[in-house]
């Protein structure tokens, strides 16, 4: 998402990323990766539960996670540490202004992300 952050914002998206770590880790993450989007911290994982996002050791340590980690490593991505709930999986929720949910993706394993082209398509209304 970082690669298309500017395009998403230019298309009218108001980006908010939510992590399960403490605020100090969220700030470090934002600075390290160069995100300009709003970044919130939810150590109690209330928003994760409200969005129906999954959590569990089997989600973190699965074949899909292993393959996703290998792809990320080959692409040059490195994880500097774990801050927050290791077992909590993420997802993506795109909501139209004042309206319906346009996209709801529940990650099934580490690295199960929505493709940037799909995010752009949804935000642009295509």
| Residue 102 confidence (pLDDT) | 95
Q: Which residues contact 113 (CB under 8 A, 6 or more apart)?
A: 1, 92, 107
Whole-structure pTM value: 0.77
Total domains present in the chain: 1
- Phi and psi at residue 106, to the nearest 5°: -105, 115
The bridge status of strand 101-106 relative to strand 91-95 is: antiparallel
* pLDDT of the residue at 28: 79
Query: Which domain range does residue 85 map to?
Result: 2-123
CA 56/CA 37 separation, integer angstroms: 28
The predicted pLDDT at position 85 comes to 82
Label residue 21 exposed, middle or buried (CB < 10 Å: 0-12, 13-18, 19+): middle
Regions of the chain with pLDDT less than 50: none
């Amino acid at each position: 998402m970082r690669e298309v952050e500017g395009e998403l914002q230019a298309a009218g998206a108001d980006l908010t990323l939510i992590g399960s770590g403490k605020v100090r880790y969220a700030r470090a993450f934002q600075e390290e990766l160069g995100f300009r989007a709003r970044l919130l911290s939810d150590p109690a994982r209330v928003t994760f539960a409200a969005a129906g996002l999954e959590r569990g050791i089997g989600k973190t340590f699965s074949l899909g996670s292993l393959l996703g980690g290998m792809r990320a490593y080959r692409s040059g991505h490195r994880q500097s540490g774990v801050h927050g709930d290791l077992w909590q999986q993420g997802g993506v929720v795109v909501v139209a202004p004042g309206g319906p949910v346009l996209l709801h993706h529940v990650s099934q394993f580490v690295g199960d992300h929505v493709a940037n082209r799909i995010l752009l398509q949804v935000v642009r209304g295509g």
